[in-house]
Amino acid sequence: MRITDILAQNSRLYRDKIALVERIPASATRKELTWHQFYTMSCRLANGLCRHGIKKSDTVVQLMTNSLEWLPIYFGILYTGAWAVPLNFRFESDKILVCSQTAEPKAFIFGEEFIGRIETIRQDLTSCVNLWIFTGPRSLCPNWAVYFEDFIQEQDRSRPPEIDAGPDDDAALYFTSGTTGAPKAVLLTHKNLTQACEVENRHHGQTHEDIFLCIPPLYHTGAKMHWMGSLLVGGKCILLNGVKPEWIIEAVSEERCTIAWLLVPWAHDILIAVENKTLDLSRYHLEQWRLMHSGAQPVPPSLVKRWRRYFSHQDYDTNYGLTESTGPGCIHLGLENSHRIGPIGQAGYGWEVKIVDKQGNHLFGNETGELLVKGPGVMKAYYKNQTATEKTLQNGWLRTGDLARYDKDGFIWLVDRKKDMIIYGGENIFPNEIENFFLTHEKIKDIAVIGVPDERLGEIPAGIISVKPNCMICEKDILDFQQALPRYKRLRKIFFGDVPRNPTGKIEKPKLRRLYAEDKRKDLQKLLL
């Protein structure tokens, strides 16, 4: 079975039932799509792409923020036999270009927010991109692009094109990054995607009657693969554009949501609003909300304890996963283990897990080693990167690069990130990118960026800055300078001091973490107790 077969089945079984709802609280707008409308939009897009020469194993980039059209466009690409290539909507022009040059897309589908970014690189993509499709307002459509609504309305065929493709065929490229921030393309098959549906449904027991609240960006495997448990049974999904606590609670209440996946910062903000009495839960219908699950970063035990004070009727769960494992689910706490606070769980449905030392020997008990996973969601490869593939995939096992340990009951605890990547509110931040930016400042001699523990966001980026001799610089100068960075990449802590490097020139970040992060970590541990 291909992932697209599930959509076709839902159109037959649940034709006029609502599949997707988009809520935009800031503009008080709400839109819906039935399963048949979802399917028809995907089919029309697929036929249009095929008429423009898109064929099996071509690639189509999708650069959009969450919208009612996002998922139908994704499935429309897959119906052609081409690979869907969703890009992070936070990417700047240079990263969009690097990813596109790797994927070599024949078509590029984009929203209004990206017109300026694309215009700066469009000429660099003329050798591969033959078709630009614009999904924003008609009045903003560039003269070099076709308007999405017109494009699909031109197609009179509401069935998918006939493509010779099966479960083992390639389906999508998802871009992740290594420790240097250089994008790597994770190649996933239809089988990878369909297993995500089954794993998620096995873990959380979605039925057709469940209503799933989806807030995270759909370009990320974490959001989409959680939704796929509902796709499998034709359940309704609410796409919420906005993360204010009252907007989340209003959506759950008014849409009668039963399941919500919340990043730690969002759950944290809801609790603060409740505790500050700016959010009165008694005003909302929340009795049907049966499950809150979280992930994308270690979940503070104190958060779970606080959450249960106000939502005692709910189940809680957490999952662990990577883009390379087709998103979350390879490790799973389980609803029956929701009383356990701290571990990330055990091997998920259909998965195997092991922890090994540097020599590859299995570790048990409380010993810390690298976490490896094996199962139906393991990626096919890093596209066009054989070296990285061979390093990461070994005898069917995926090396996660994360450090973990078992407790006495066989549950896995995530100890630390092996790489220097900072996980800030569920988003990945790569220190090297920020360091290179600050090194362009005329008064900065050296800089090291590390993650400092934060109860709400998991980690926040902190910079240790060494100033050039005979130069003076203050914190305000740094804050002003970093305004050119995207907001989520800006330093949240600034220290002035020496940046130690080893004989090969590498920054000694473990030493810096001991100096600047360990005291904060100990304070947080005391707080969690």
Q: Is residue 285 part of a domain?
A: no
In this structure, are residues 69 and 41 in contact, taking their beta carbons and an 8 Å threshold? yes
User: Which of 153, 219, 160 is closest to 3 using CA atoms?
Assistant: 160
User: Residue 329 CA to chain centroid, in angstroms?
Assistant: 13
Q: Is residue 494 part of a domain?
A: yes
CA dist 110 → 42, 61, 126, 136, 269 (Å): 16, 8, 16, 8, 31
Burial class of 387 by CB neighbour count within 10 A (0 to 12, 13 to 18, 19+): exposed
Per-residue pLDDT at 260 exceeds 90: yes
301 — phi, psi (to 5°)? -55, -35
For the stretch 114-143, pLDDT in tens is: 999 999 999 999 999 999 999 999 999 999
Residue 506, domain extent: 423-528
Q: Residue 197 has what pLDDT?
A: 96
Q: Is residue 432 part of a domain?
A: yes
CA dist 471 → 379, 442, 445, 494, 499 (Å): 50, 9, 10, 17, 16
Q: Is residue 486 part of a domain?
A: yes
Q: Residue 325 has what pLDDT?
A: 96
Q: Is residue 216 part of a domain?
A: no
Residue 36 half-sphere exposure, CB side, CA atoms within 13 Å?
Answer: 6
pLDDT averaged over the chain?
Answer: 91
Which distant-in-sequence residues (6+ apart) come within 8 Å of 386 by Cβ? none
Task: Fill in the amino acid letter for 322.
Answer: L
Q: How confident is the model at residue 521 (pLDDT cuts 50, 70, 90)?
A: very low
Q: Is residue 515 part of a domain?
A: yes
Paired tokens of 168: 């083992």
Q: Is residue 107 part of a domain?
A: no
**Rg of the chain (C-alpha set):** 23
CATH number of the domain to which 509 belongs: 3.30.300.30
Residue predicted with more confidence, 158 or 196: 196
Please state the domain count of the chain.
1
**Cβ neighbours, 10 Å, residue 428:** 19
Per-residue pLDDT at 520 exceeds 80: no
Burial class of 415 by CB neighbour count within 10 A (0 to 12, 13 to 18, 19+): middle
Threshold 0.95, pTM exceeds: no
User: Which of 431, 442, 450, 512 is closest to 471 using CA atoms?
Assistant: 442
Mark residue 401 as left, alpha or beta (left: phi above 0; alpha: psi -120 to 50; beta: remaining). left
234 — phi, psi (to 5°)? 70, 30
SS (H, E, C) 220-289: CHHHHHHHHHHHCCCCEEEEECCCCHHHHHHHHHHHCCCEEECCHHHHHHHHHHHHCCCCCHHHCCCCCC
Q: Is residue 452 part of a domain?
A: yes
For the stretch 5-21, pLDDT in tens is: 999 999 999 999 999 99
For the stretch 425-469, pLDDT in tens is: 888 787 878 888 998 898 998 899 999 988 888 899 999 999 988
Residue predicted with more confidence, 420 or 496: 496
Report helix, strand or coil for 517: coil
Gap between the Cα atoms of 42 and 155, Å rounded: 11
Residue 330 half-sphere exposure, CB side, CA atoms within 13 Å?
Answer: 28
For the stretch 213-249, pLDDT in tens is: 999 999 988 888 999 999 999 999 999 999 999 999 9
